[in-house]
Structure 1
Amino acid sequence: MMKYNSSIKSVAIGLPETYYTNDMPPFSEIPNLPKNWWRNWGMEGRYMVNKEKGESCSQLARKASLGAIEKAGLSTQDIDLIIGTTCTITGWSDKEEDRIFPGISEYLKTELNCKHSAMTMEVNQACISFLVALQIASDYIKTGMYKNVLICSAETFTQIADFSLPSSTLFGDGAAAIVIGRSEKEGKLVSSHYKSIPTYNDIATLQWKTPTNKPGKEFIRPYFTLGEDAPTQMQTFVPQNVPEVVFKALEKADASLEDIHHFVFHQPSKMLIRMWAMGIGIKKEKYTTTVEKYSCLSSASIPMTLYFALKNGKIKPNNTIVLAGAGIGWGFGAQVWNTENINY
């Protein structure tokens, strides 16, 4: 069986029109924010969808996907597999507010008018869904089963936020998509490593409930819930496990820190990213942060950060990079990539 290398060909993003700082409602009106909340988490603002303007998770996904396909120099008819990721789940569709299934991948196949034979797939591993999707896509391409794969991660967490709780401040809305295809040169996924620690799976959850400021059955819907002691608990295991999977992936790649040109992390908080960097032993210029301006974008945060790292000249052709992060549940993953020319 012939084997192929897989390469990230392009990345594009989709953002809502309106930007909200911490000083603007509803974020400025959230009661009982703990002392040093903003300093510890690091969010200064975020983009937020406006349903009255027709904005939705699926609309952002379509915009990012079209951009990625175009920048890859392809047409929608060239896509063989579409992988969608979102933690939003309910309320993602612009057609039905409470739609859960079918997922984003099926929506994109229809809206982009992809060929009949194109396969669709959903991945839900919370914030590291994009990494899992990349692994799946790369493995399919290596076997020759697919040639061009579209991965789209789209999140509208503000639509499942309980604005009576501090945790509602942590997320923003946005989408990012990549096209991954066969490598013509040396681009490839060199190595990867993953682990799971479900012991802490009740720290952060998506629950059916009513917000504390709106009691009543008519307001029952899924809301993101962060445990009261979650920030403290996270610091006992999240900071050390991302460096651990990074070093495992580097070991498999027979690479050292000096071989890595740039790190692209998931963006849960400024403090956690800083702790990951310290645990790995890299300085600020070796990684990009987007959490300040865009807040946490869950599964879309790694491809969104990849986009800005490329745009700011931090990643160039023929670089070796690391993508890494953690996802509630809790899963951890790291990948080492050799890049070709990633269009953005």
Structure 2
Amino acid sequence: MSGTDRAAVVAGLGGWVPRTVVTNDELAALLGTDDEWIRTRTGIRQRHVIAPGEATGDLAVEAGRRALESAGLVGVGALVLATSTPDRLSPATAPEVASRLGLGTVPAFDVAAVCAGFVYALAAGAGLIATGVAESVLVIGADTFSTILDPADRTTRAVFGDGAGAVVLRAGSLDQPGALLGLSLGSDGSRSDLVEIPAGGSRQRSTGLPVKPEDTFLTMRGRAVFAEAVHRMSASARETAARAGWPLEEIDRFVLHQANARIVTATAHRLALPAERFLSNIDRVGNTVAASIPLALSDGVLSGELRPGHRVVLAGFGGGLAWGSVALVWPHIVHPGIRILPAPSADQSGARK
């Protein structure tokens, strides 16, 4: 095919969440609140969190393995990992994930765009395919924000959960189901203080001053983030739909970053579209950051809400500020990975497979 026809096509999908489930009732007892307060403000009923000794790379390996199985592959030409909670500050987590998956010495790197990370990673993977660097790319979004939350801060601890989701991209053509269309990315660093961890980076370390304990945790200015998320995701979705040549009313499903149920609802209202077109699983997993979009895709396929032939727009927004969106006609996926179920009863255990 010619260079202009070459496109990145979604060919596999997988997801993974840790075994441990934390319900609102469990959190409420620790945070001095209740289930209703959490649900009405976030739409979340439970979230999954890693066990002691687990890390982002462990979740990424599990999700990546399932995506490769879904695509019927044992190897790919490159790996891109979207994460803002790497296993270590240095080196990047992606090369170790690639090694553990048996991918050999393929190019592998991290993308740090927080909750917009998965869309940014898709763009990076599509670029590797477009330039001929790789014929197939494993794109993973994985985060463990439970490790960077203030245990006493109910505004963040109630929101975030841990998880990983992945897709396999392969070289194909723009007219194929699954081809990535209308990619749109953006950022606004002048508002970087809306979502941040003040300590740990070179700016803080270079001062030589003692670190305040509270500066090692995630901080978030909720009201401003809410307004920016709705504005940026709705505008980006419009831009991507226009680039793909799709009227908004003809798009079957929107899969937004699962930040907060009210943000998803407000974005649907901003776009003047029915809420049922917007997939959501935030009630069962919380905000899983870079993993949220692929986990929602995985759950949507298994629930039947997302079907082959659907016109779909994915949109993410997060710290940076950074945002992005992409369109595709949903392809047939053979093995979509896990379905995220309600919290287990007291006599049940095990990961959601």
TM-score bin, normalised by smaller chain: 0.7 to 0.9
1:186 matched to 2:183? The reply is: no
1:113 matched to 2:65? The reply is: no
Give the whole-Å Cα distance in 2 for the aligned partners of 1:319 and 1:313. Answer: 11
Give the whole-Å Cα distance in 1 for the aligned partners of 2:269 and 2:144. Answer: 31
Give the whole-Å Cα distance in 2 for the aligned partners of 1:329 and 1:38. Answer: 27
**Larger displacement relative to structure 2 (197-206 or 291-300):** 197-206
1:131-181 residue CA offsets vs partner (Å, 9 max, x unmatched): 011011112212332111011111111111111112222100111111111
Give the whole-Å Cα distance in 2 for the aligned partners of 1:83 and 1:207. Answer: 26
In the other structure, the counterpart of 1:71 is: 70
In the other structure, the counterpart of 1:6 is: 8
**CA-CA distance at 1:217 after TM superposition:** 7.3
Which aligned pairs between 1:208-223 and structure 2 lie closer than 5 A?
208=199, 222-223=216-217
Retained in 2: the 8 A contact 1:12–1:65? yes
Give the whole-Å Cα distance in 1 for the aligned partners of 2:148 and 2:254. Answer: 30
RMSD of the TM alignment (CA)?
Answer: 2.4
Query: Structure 2-normalised TM-score?
Result: 0.84
Structure 1's unaligned 5+ residue stretches are: 93-98, 210-215
In the other structure, the counterpart of 1:43 is: 44
In the other structure, the counterpart of 1:142 is: 130
1:62 matched to 2:61? The reply is: yes
**CA-CA distance at 1:218 after TM superposition:** 11
Partner of residue 269 from structure 1, selected from 250, 260, 273: 260
**CA-CA distance at 1:46 after TM superposition:** 0.4
Give the whole-Å Cα distance in 1 for the aligned partners of 2:12 and 2:133. Answer: 20
Retained in 2: the 8 A contact 1:45–1:294? yes
User: Secondary structure of 1:23's match?
Assistant: helix
Give the whole-Å Cα distance in 2 for the aligned partners of 1:340 and 1:50. Answer: 35
Count of equivalent residues: 321
Retained in 2: the 8 A contact 1:2–1:143? no
1:186-239 residue CA offsets vs partner (Å, 9 max, x unmatched): 131121222222332212212338xxxxxx97968832112xxx2222344332
Retained in 1: the 8 A contact 2:83–2:142? yes
Which aligned pairs between 1:78-89 and structure 2 lie closer than 5 A?
78-89=75-86
User: Secondary structure of 1:282's match?
Assistant: coil
Residue identity over aligned pairs, in percent, reads 23
Give the whole-Å Cα distance in 2 for the aligned partners of 1:283 and 1:220. Answer: 41
Return structure 1 stretches of 4+ with deviation > 3 angstroms: 35-38, 216-222
User: Secondary structure of 1:79's match?
Assistant: coil
Give the whole-Å Cα distance in 2 for the aligned partners of 1:68 and 1:221. Answer: 36
Which aligned pairs between 1:163-178 and structure 2 lie closer than 5 A?
163-166=151-154, 167-178=156-167
In the other structure, the counterpart of 1:95 is: none
Partner of residue 143 from structure 2, selected from 132, 147, 155: 155
**CA-CA distance at 1:342 after TM superposition:** 2.6
Structure 2's unaligned 5+ residue stretches are: 201-209, 337-353
Query: Structure 1-normalised TM-score?
Result: 0.86
Partner of residue 250 from structure 2, selected from 259, 266, 277: 259
Please tell me the residue identity of whatever aligns with 2:158.
T
Give the whole-Å Cα distance in 1 for the aligned partners of 2:298 and 2:11. Answer: 12
In the other structure, the counterpart of 1:341 is: 332
